[in-house]
Amino acid sequence: MIIPVILSGGAGTRLWPLSRELYPKQFLPLVAERSLLQETALRLRGLPQAQAPLVVCNEEHRFLVAEQLRQVDAGGGHILLEPAARNTAPAVALAALHAQRQGNGDALLLVLPSDHVIADPAALQQAVLAGEPSARDGALVTFGVVPTRAETGYGYIHVGDPLTPGGPAKQVRAFVEKPDATRAAGYLASGEYLWNGGMFLFTAGAYLTELERHAPAILAACRAACDDLQADLDFVRVAREPFLTAPTDSVDYAVMEHTDRAVVVPLDAGWSDVGSWDALLDVQAADAGGNVIRGDVLAEDVSGSLIHSESRLVAALGVRDHVIVETADAVLVADRARAQDVKRLVERLKAQRRDESMVHRQVLRPWGSYEGLVRSERFQVKRIVVRPGASLSLQMHHHRAEHWVVVKGTARVTCADQVRMLSEDQSTYIPIGSVHRLENPGRIDLEIIEVQSGSYLGEDDIVRLEDHYGRSGA
């Protein structure tokens, strides 16, 4: 049995403004019609003995994960919720412990990031099958990407001799940090180095044994967190406080660089971690000028550039090697050579407490979505869409009142002790402090225009008293 473990905790800050904290790059269709998460799940179809994927994700992303897997019929597995980001070593520990508790301690865990591109899924499956015998013998198998250039942005694996004459699995001499340009060129010329792609194959027991040897504090925290697993709808929650004591570390640093059981299988499958706008340009088909253009774009005398438009016309004239990305609420213009530094802009946005680092103008919720239309100091206007049969939480606000106007469908509105039905062109008022709920009892989407007014309009001014989606508190 092979259990794919998909790690979906990344933030993708270098792909801002498309990728944001509450809607990061793994949920975006960056290189195909499907999202990177969906592509990750689908590329495993046909792999012998592969089960439904086990996804480890941030608690705030749980409904996105569930919905995207449902859309491509890739659900059926468990979704483990991390109370907070602690890097990959604790995330994989949760998956391994959960597998043991499900009676699958001898199963192979195929650990894959959710936000990578692999152009040749068949080659990945062949590499997994090549590494399977070593993993079943207790080795910790990693898949080293065959390098195509002297890359300074990736770590490397120094490859040793084959485990068996002519066999695909090889010894690992060392894991090497990101090199400078000179050393990267030497690595490429030697033919002895592979890129470290962060993909692994091992049994749950083998990983936990090595984790206990080399990072016991991580294992202790994760074991304590798994002592109180709670089912929540389609999700599995671990205990928050014990998990927060886990040191933050990656599988590479915590285990792979120290273990004597590491084995590497070369992988030549058109891999990219899509870690920056420059990397995204490299994995997409370019026009005659070396440009990758998506959306409503007018380009004249432009070369070597990525231009992406989501909501309006973007016109570019006479630029070279640029990244231009337009969304409804933000525009990025950057030199391709500085693409890795976009995360510095995100850090400044966070320091200024600006919403653009966290969410898009349209925000998805388990019941539908909302979109900000107008915002001022003491009022804002939103368009809210509620799916048929769905409802918002029973809630109240300390600092704002709300006016609702129905523009499509039928609304059931609870306000204090009154329940009333509203149809198109009808409206209602929700005073400050009133307990209220919005529901869609109809068969089509409910759309309303909401006007908020008050001294504070932040999304954290919500006290949930009852919720169908497992959300609670303020």
Phi and psi torsions of 158, nearest 5°: -85, 115
Residues 6+ apart with CB under 8 A from 76: 52
Which of 105, 118, 141, 94 lies closest to 43, judged by CA?
118
Q: What is the pLDDT of residue 474?
A: 46
Would you state the CATH architecture of domain 2-272?
Answer: Alpha-Beta Complex (3.90)
Q: What is the pLDDT of residue 41?
A: 95
Phi and psi torsions of 49, nearest 5°: 70, 5
Kindly give the residue spans of alpha helices, DSSP state H, lying in 191-258.
204-214, 216-226, 240-244, 251
Residues 6+ apart with CB under 8 A from 310: 18, 295, 326, 327, 328
Distance CA 214, CA 207 (A): 11
- Token match 């990344």: residue? 10
Fold of 362-466: Jelly Rolls (2.60.120)
Q: Where along the chain do its domains lie?
A: 2-272, 286-342, 362-466
Residues 6+ apart with CB under 8 A from 151: 184, 195
Using DSSP's 3-state secondary structure scheme, residue 385 falls into strand
- Token match 């809210």: residue? 384
Which amino acid does the sequence have at 227? D
Helix (H) or strand (E) holding 375: strand 368-375
Q: What is the pLDDT of residue 261?
A: 96
Q: What is the pLDDT of residue 387?
A: 95
Is-contact 336 281, C-beta < 8 A? yes
Q: Do domains 2-272 and 362-466 have the same CATH topology?
A: no
Distance CA 240, CA 321 (A): 45
Q: What is the pLDDT of residue 143?
A: 97
Is-contact 400 362, C-beta < 8 A? no
Report the predicted TM-score, pTM, of the whole model to 2 decimal places: 0.85
Is-contact 363 422, C-beta < 8 A? no
Stretches in the chain below the pLDDT threshold 70? 471-474
Distance CA 128, CA 45 (A): 13
Count other C-beta atoms under 10 Å from residue 258's C-beta.
14
